[in-house]
Amino acid sequence: MATDNLAEKIPDFNGVAPIQGGGPVDVSALASVRRAKGFKEISKVLLLGILVVTLLEFILIWTKTPLYIFPRPTLVIKSLFHDFGPLYRQPLLQTVQEFFVGLAFGASIGLALAVLVTLKPGLDIFISPYIIIMVTTPMIALIPFLMLKFGFGMTPRVIAVALASGPMVMINSATGFRRTNAELIALGKSYGATEFQLFRKIRFPFALPMIIVGFMVGSIFGLLTAVGSEMVGGGGGLGNRLVYFSSLVRMANFGAVLVIVATFGVALYSFFTFVNRKYASWQV
């Protein structure tokens, strides 16, 4: 019952009451996909993948599907290896750059805002409407407007990525900070901890799994926005290539770019899953 009285008024965007004991266990369905273990299991998974691709290849050959309707996997793979340097490297680097610069800005601001609303709970009602609007509005919609202001270069895209990823990082981090067990905070205070010490020693480590999930979701949103922005307008980037190749019906090239985008997305997901396992493995 004391914990009821203790529960601090920190924003809780999911409407979940602060949980007592333990960590934020229900981190996200995203982070809890079971991983294949051991040589046998991994090889089974790989084998199935190869089987599916091979099957697709044969179906496309048997049905005599024209290249402009669906490119054959072999052609896509061939193009990936053959054309990577001349056709895909430069767009990939540009998308990667837009993505990381945008994420760095968005995530830092998001994290700072999460700390702010945790320390000053009263501010939450002023900040959260904008955060909700930013989360629910596709930031790609801003691209035409941003391009009027910042031209055709990377700036509008970087801003859109930041606006798409930042709120995700903020919401998840704020929820993580918020869920920090009230008794733990009381314990820290009873030892005379300052607000900074509480953050460093208790709140931040406690919220870390949620923060990592925030980064994971934020970067998936960010990548979506980066590629989407490139498709909307301006020059360069993988999204731009998708539009370009499909308009010329170069579907093998189109497929190759798609594979690169997908690989980038999966790499991001794997990276954050790895980070979560390594630095937040205490949560059961």
Partner 1 sequence: MTQGTKSRIDIKNVSKIYKTGSGTVEAVKNFTESVKDGEFVCVVGASGCGKTTLLWCLSGLHPSTLGTVEIDGEILNAPMPGKIGMVFQDSNLLPWRTLMENIELPFQIKKKPINHELVEELLEVAGLKGFENSYPGELSGGMKQRGSIVRALAQDPEVLLMDEPFGALDAFTREEMNLFLLKVWAKTKKTIVFVTHSISEAIFLGDRIWVMSPRPGRLARVVDVDFARPRHIDLQFEPDFISILKEIRTEVEGSKAGKGN
CA distance 41 to 31: 20
The distance of closest approach from Cβ of residue 205 to partner 1 in the complex, given in angstroms and rounded to an integer, is: 5
Residue 102, C-beta contacts closer than 8 angstroms, at least 6 positions apart: 157, 158, 159, 160, 161, 162, 164, 165, 222, 225, 226
Asked if residue 20 binds partner 1 (CB under 8 A), the reply is: yes
Closest to partner 1 by CB, 102 or 188: 188
Q: Give one DSSP letter per residue of 156-206, joined into a string.
A: HHHHHHHHHHHHHHHHHHHHHHHHS-HHHHHHHHHTT--HHHIIIIIIHHH
Asked if residue 15 binds partner 1 (CB under 8 A), the reply is: no
The distance of closest approach from Cβ of residue 125 to partner 1 in the complex, given in angstroms and rounded to an integer, is: 16
The distance of closest approach from Cβ of residue 192 to partner 1 in the complex, given in angstroms and rounded to an integer, is: 3
The distance of closest approach from Cβ of residue 184 to partner 1 in the complex, given in angstroms and rounded to an integer, is: 6
Which region among 36-44, 144-152, 199-207, 216-224 touches partner 1 (by CB under 8 A)?
Answer: 199-207
Asked if residue 7 binds partner 1 (CB under 8 A), the reply is: no
- CA dihedral (123, 124, 125, 127) positive or negative: positive
Please say whether the beta carbons of 165 and 110 come within 8 A.
yes
Asked if residue 129 binds partner 1 (CB under 8 A), the reply is: no
The distance of closest approach from Cβ of residue 18 to partner 1 in the complex, given in angstroms and rounded to an integer, is: 13
Alpha helices by DSSP H, listed for 233-250, are 238-247
CA distance 242 to 247: 8
Which region among 52-60, 91-99, 157-165, 276-284 touches partner 1 (by CB under 8 A)?
Answer: 276-284
Which region among 43-51, 99-107, 250-258, 275-283 touches partner 1 (by CB under 8 A)?
Answer: 275-283
Residues 133-192 that bind partner 1 (CB under 8 A): 181, 183-184, 186-192
> Residues 21, 38, 86, 122: which binds partner 1 (CB under 8 A)?
21
CA distance 97 to 161: 11
Please say whether the beta carbons of 214 and 166 come within 8 A.
no
For residue 258 the two structure tokens come to 């798609």
Which region among 60-68, 133-141, 151-159, 197-205 touches partner 1 (by CB under 8 A)?
Answer: 197-205
The distance of closest approach from Cβ of residue 10 to partner 1 in the complex, given in angstroms and rounded to an integer, is: 17
**What residue ranges bind partner 1 (CB under 8 A)?**
1-2, 5-6, 20-23, 181, 183-184, 186-193, 197, 201-202, 205-206, 208, 280, 282-284
